[in-house]
A and B are shown apart, each in its own frame.
Chain A
Amino acid sequence: MTRPLILALGNDLIGDDAAGLLAAREVQRHSANPVDVVETAAGGFALLDHLEHRTHVLILDTIVTGARPAGTLVEMTPEELGSVPGSSPHTAGLPETIALAHRLEIPFPSVITILALEIAPAMTIGAPLSPEIAQALPSMAHRARAIIDSWYASG
């Protein structure tokens, strides 16, 4: 196992969209095991640069489905996130990025776990965290640490 990577996605200028970044910082401060953290506002194929040559990656992000209350923590595998979609109007999503890596035989993580907080659409620059997300952040960080620890425990 290479040193686990936490890939935190989000934009720290836009309120709840920053949840993944904030949780990642919290994990890095308190994790018992060494972990690399990359924060990025990029998406799609830009993520390949971070995922390549890793074995274990934990993605911390937010999710907007409208189907769950804001602050709900969701844990998924990439497969559960969805099959390869059609090309999006603007950029490629994570499933497409993973499919591309497999197709091109790019050395890619064998374990990817996605941990996401359900948020309401975040559209205001400079907005603070909503109370629901602020309250949910510790549980996100706690679960992230547990995942990292379990990877170390299983070697």
Chain B
Amino acid sequence: MRRVTIDPITRLEGHGKIDIFLNDAGNVDRAYYQIPELRGFEVFSLGRPAEDMPQITSRICGVCPTAHHMAGTKALDALYNVEPPPAAKKVRELIYNTFMLEDHALHVYVLGGPDFIVGPSAPKELRNIIGVINTVGLDVGKKVIGMRRRLREFIAYAGGKVVHPVFGLPGGVAKPIAPDEADRLKQLAQDGLDFALFTLQVFNDIVLGNKDYVSLITSDMFTHKTYYMGLVDEQNRVNFYDGNIRVVDPNGKQFARFPVQQYTDYIAEHVEPWSYVKFCYLKPIGWKGFVDGEGSGVYAAAPLARLNAAESMATPKAQKAREVFFNVLGGRPVHHTLANHWARVIEMIQAAERMLELAHDPDITSRDIRVLPTRKPTVGIGVVEAPRGTLIHHYETDEKGLITRANLIVATQNNSARIAMSVDKAAKGLIHEGKVDDGLLNTIEMAFRAYDPCNACATHSLPGRMPMELRLRTANGKVIETLRR
């Protein structure tokens, strides 16, 4: 057996490594997607005041601090058994939808989008934001950067800090939206919606207008028939900020619908000796390995999963886009991993529409923004839909509010088994008789980029470029060939 190692060293996301084991015929026996995970969170948390957790957890990640801050804040609501006033919930939801729009836009244009906007077979050095601008025009590039800046400025205003927000408090928020800021917000939300609809048009023109791209999206190589998870409101509509967790089976039928307080009844973690990652699976079904189908507990989260898990979007323009999505891709649920990119654009529309609704809601300027907690803390569990999937914070404290136990289910963890399956499937589809080329690396990257994975994202070391290293090894580990770019 030979071993192929792909070792992408990238800024922020830590060091991923893909080990591909070849059999004697040179075909793939098994591919392993290995990622180091941050360690020590629980130990670090012990004995700290629970009130510090939304700040501490938001500092874990430089990419989605708002999601951690919000999940942590909601866990504190539950910990102190306090219900925030309606105005506070609306301010939180407003900030959160702004964050979702900004984060999704970044992924669409900068991270995942280049695969399609520039093209999956384009040279790697062109598949980046510069390639996107060259394809769609300089004005679009300026529009993307300008919109991102305005959205972040609003988050900075409302949230206290852009990178590590401080607005969430148990029982409410630190401040309302000032009336003059609300007027500016209305314009921002409208511009954000126009931008999201423009993005859908770009996607329609460039991706859906190209039958080769549609074939790629729907190809078997990027397809897994798994369960799907997402937060839904009372009418089973997609909700990023609050609601019940809904899970549908590979046929789209509801499998479970539960409040986050019951998450340990439904979500369990499987450990493999070759990975630091804990692979989440559906506890009532059990861990049956890295396989799909109704009998396997593997499930997915993030945009595609959210659309699959809900009965509809919560806003009209997003719902219209969702209907086209399912019509084109053969009905709900859609099992094609690369459809995450399209689903992400549809979620941009919902985030912008919800922003616009809340911008016009007079409650966001109300001074009634906090109920002070008075009860003894015990256990608090909070959930939001992070851009990359369902995010759960679970804190337990002593009666002084000092942490005695802390557990996080981070968004990407929900997808970790499915990501491993995607990498394995791509490798099996593209390595035959020992022949490995650059196209393999691109395809595997595309497979896991669609999930927008967020692994070990708190470290920030350079180099800032992404050398890909692929090593062919003999069964005893000797390197017989190394490919780099």
Asked if residues A104 and B142 are in contact (CB atoms below 8 Å), the reply is yes
One of A40, A125, A127 near B62 (C-beta < 8 A): A40
The tally of residues in A whose CB lies under 8 Å from a CB in B reads: 52
Known: A11-B459, A64-B462. A87 touches B62 (CB 8 A): no
- The contact of A83 among B41, B111, B125, by CB within 8 Å, is B125
CB distance from A97 to the nearest CB of B (A): 9
Contact between A123 and B37 (Cβ–Cβ < 8 Å)?
yes
Say if the beta carbon of A116 comes within 8 Å of chain B: yes
**Contact string against A for B residues 65-93, beta-carbon threshold 8 Å, 1 for contact and 0 otherwise:** 10000000000000000000000000000
1/0 per position for A44-58, CB-CB distance to B under 8 A? Answer: 111011000000000
Distance in Å: Cβ of A93 to nearest Cβ of chain B:
4
Chain B contacts for A87, CB-based, 8 A: 110-112, 114-115, 127-129, 449
Say yes or no: is A94 at the interface (Cβ < 8 Å to chain B): yes
User: Does B327 sit at the interface, judged by CB under 8 A?
Assistant: no
Cα–Cα distance between A94 and B454 once the two chains are bound (Å)? 18
Interface majority SS on B: helix, strand, loop or mixed? loop
Cβ–Cβ < 8 Å partners of B11 in chain A: 43-44, 88, 91, 93-94
Most B CB atoms within 10 A — which of A11, A62, A82, A106? A11
Query: Looking at chain B, what size class is its interface with the partner chain?
Result: 35 or more
Give CA–CA (A46, B281) in the complex, Å.
34
> Which residues on the B side are within 8 Å of A155 (C-beta)?
none
Q: Which residue of B lies closest to A41 (CB)?
A: B62
Q: A40-B163, A95-B464 are in contact. Are A89 and B445 (CB under 8 A)?
A: yes
Contact with A along B427-466 (1 / 0, CB 8 A): 0000000000000000001001100111111111111111
In the assembled complex, B380 has its CB within 8 A of some CB on chain A: no
Central interface residue in A96, A114, A125, by most chain B CB within 10 Å: A125
Which secondary structure dominates where chain A touches chain B? loop
Residues of B within 8 A of A (CB): 8-16, 36-41, 43-44, 56, 59-60, 62-63, 65, 106, 110-112, 114-115, 124-125, 127-130, 133, 138, 141-142, 145, 148-149, 152, 162-164, 445, 448-449, 452-466
Q: A82-B465, A85-B128 are in contact. List 13 more A-B contacts (CB 8 A).
A: A11-B60, A13-B44, A17-B460, A62-B461, A64-B9, A83-B125, A87-B128, A88-B11, A88-B466, A89-B453, A90-B63, A93-B465, A100-B133
Partner-B contacts on A (CB < 8 A): 9-14, 17, 40-46, 48-49, 61-65, 81-96, 99-100, 103-104, 106, 114, 116, 119, 121-127
